[in-house]
Structure 1
Amino acid sequence: MKVAIAGGTGLIGSRLCEMLKKRGDDVIVLTRSQSKMKNAIPHVKWLNGEKPEPMLEGIDAFINLAGVSLNEGRWTIERKEAIYKSRMESTEEIIRIIGHVKKKPDVLVNASAIGIYPASINAVYTEESQEQSSDFLGTTVADWEEKALEANEFGVRVCLTRFGVVLGRGSGALPLIALPYLLFVGGTVGSGEQWLSWVHVDDVCGAIIHAIETPELEGPINVTSPNAKRMKQFGKTIGRTLNRPHWLPVPSTALKLALGEKSQLVLEGQYVVPEKLLSSGYRFQFASLEDAIIDLYN
């Protein structure tokens, strides 16, 4: 299988490249930097007027992970504009490329986020849920998905993979959440009742590959562990697994002062179920939070 990945150098993209190469797939990474070979994977320059179509003829799957990180920096007006604009511009460029290649890819797997669902302590969201958040993240995700679905016009199946809180080594959400515990000052964040729908990075990549290989999958696909945790239980599990105390609470007001609007990523949450993945036969490598943390901290 020949796969093109936009955003192939981040936490998810780099791990996905490893997994695809191990399978024997041909991988091409689209990058804003100079075209090059890295780890035997061709990196092709795109955006800023570049025309990468000749290198992308014959691809079977297009994976879009591109976009400014949600986790870095405060959500200033400028930062939010960059988060939104980077997602819309990269996806629009992918639609343009698909329109220009002679052989269309079979599938576009477009990254998305469970932030499209409203924060709730009681609701349980599946792909059939119609509720949609009207805040910055919800609006961004909705517009991003709408743009990606334009690939349908070229006969391309579109999978909108809605990622939960991705746990990985060295980057992503886990190092920030676990740091207080490693310093022996971990405790409940906010009320502790908010849900945290988490997922191990290997299951994110596994779900993407599963979506590519499962023709009946399309539209929204929740990519979360089937075992979401309330924040208080999530913290206790980290403390227990890392053999650290869970005792010093972190008030909501302190986080709002420190992080501003971005504090909603940890103070608010959703209980999201990966119904489509489960019903289509995907088996999670890390359905247990304890197993995921042990693996990531080894």
Structure 2
Amino acid sequence: MKIAIAGGTGFVGRALTAELVEKRHEVVILTRKEIKANKSERIRYVQWLSSKADPIHALQGTDIFINLAGESINSGRWTDKRKQRILDSRIETVREILAIIKKMDIKPTALINASAIGIYGISAEKVFTEEDKCSGNDFLSQTVMEWEKEAVNASQLDIRTALCRFGIILAKQEGALPKIAFPYKSFIGGPIGAGQQWMSWIHIDDVIKGISFIIENKNIHGPVNFTAPHPVTMAEFGQTLAEVIHRPHWLTVPSFALRLLLGEMSTLVVDGQKVLPNKLLENGYPFQYPELKLALKNIFN
């Protein structure tokens, strides 16, 4: 199968590419950079989103488009300019993918588009599944709503469209976990705020294998929550992390201090929501790491 990935050089994209190549798929990675040479017979880099780029010919015959592209939400304070870049980068890539698809002689069978559980908004009590309507009024929720609104236009082209709503992705070297683990490794780790806010997490291996599962199961479409079946509170997460890496869990980080330090971006750790992956479970996806301790032991040991 020929699979095109936008955002294929990022955190999730690199791991997904390795998985797809192992399964003998041909992978086309869409990149803004000028390409000098392709290093693998199963991986091809194609330039797009530049005045010189003309990716249509290279993308003919693509079976699946996967869109993981977009400016990172957790690498800097959310100024007005940065918030606009976060939104624009997501809208731009979806629109460009759809423009390419419209020009293709034979259309792909599916678009798998990244999304986020932030779309549900913040709640300490409610449990969210794919059946819930999105009701958040914060920046992250509104951004994801706009992102998904663009992506579902693919369904008007008779293309199966899946919206992968990622929770907090756990991996050793990238994503949120190294930042969360750093204070613990320095013996100053502890609960963030009250610690009762929910953390809906997922191991990077389940992200990758979950996307592969969607590729292979043609009946899966629409929103798909990418979270482990057992979310935890931030206090429970910290206690489990401390136990796994043999560090104390004692020094509380006040919510107000994080809000002063990070501004609006502090919502990523101060607030939360409890999200369940009902659609993956109902379709028989076998989670590799359904429990937090199992996931952290795999990552750190």
Residue type matched to 1:45 in 2? Q
The CA deviation string for residues 222-271 of structure 1, in whole angstroms up to 9 with x for no partner, is: 00000100000000000001110000000001111111110000011110
| Equivalent in the alignment of 1:45 | 47
Letter in 1 for 2:65: F
Q: CA deviation at 1:169?
A: 2.5
Task: Give the aligned partner of residue 246 of structure 2.
Answer: 243
Is the partner of 1:37 in helix, strand or coil?
A: coil
Q: Which runs of 4+ in 1 moved over 3 A?
A: none
Identify unmatched segments of 5+ residues in structure 1. none
Tell me, what secondary structure is at the counterpart of 1:245?
coil
- Which residue of structure 2 aligns with residue 57 of structure 1? 60
Partner in structure 2 of residue 18 of structure 1: 18
Q: Using the alignment, how far apart are the partners of 1:175 and 1:66 within structure 2?
A: 22
Shift of 1:38: 4.0
What is the TM-score when the length of structure 2 is the normalising length?
Answer: 0.97
| Matched-pair contact (CA < 8 Å) for 1:92–1:147 | yes
| 2:261 counterpart of 1:263 | no
| Contact preservation (8 Å) 1:11, 1:168 | no
Mapping for residues 73-222 of structure 1, pairs under 5 Å = 73-222=76-225
Measured in 1, the distance between the counterparts of 2:58 and 2:130 equals 34
CA separation of 1:7 and 1:211: change in aligned 2, threshold 3 A: same
Aligned length: 298
Per-residue deviation, 1:39 = 4.8
The percent of aligned pairs where both chains have the same amino acid is 48
Instruction: Tell me, in whole angstroms, the C-alpha distance in 2 between the residues paired with 1:158 and 1:167.
Output: 25
Question: For 1:33, what is the secondary structure of its paired residue?
Answer: coil
Give CA-to-partner distance per residue, 1:22-52, whole Å, 9 cap, x none: 1111101000111242455211100023221
Give the TM-score, by structure 1 length. 0.98
1:234–1:39 CA distance, 2 compared to 1 (3 A): farther
Q: Which moved more, 1:38-47 or 1:240-249?
A: 38-47
The one-letter amino acid of 2:220's match is L
Aligned counterpart, 2:229: 226
How big is the alpha-carbon RMSD for the aligned residues of Structure 1 and Structure 2? 1.0
- The residue type paired with residue 224 of structure 1 is T
Looking at structure 1, the residues matched to 149 and 116 of structure 2 have their Cα atoms a distance apart, in angstroms, of: 13
How far apart, CA to CA, are the structure 2 residues paired with 1:295 and 1:277? 22
SS in 1 for 2:38: strand
Q: Find the aligned partners of 1:131 and 1:171 in 2 and give their Cα distance.
A: 28
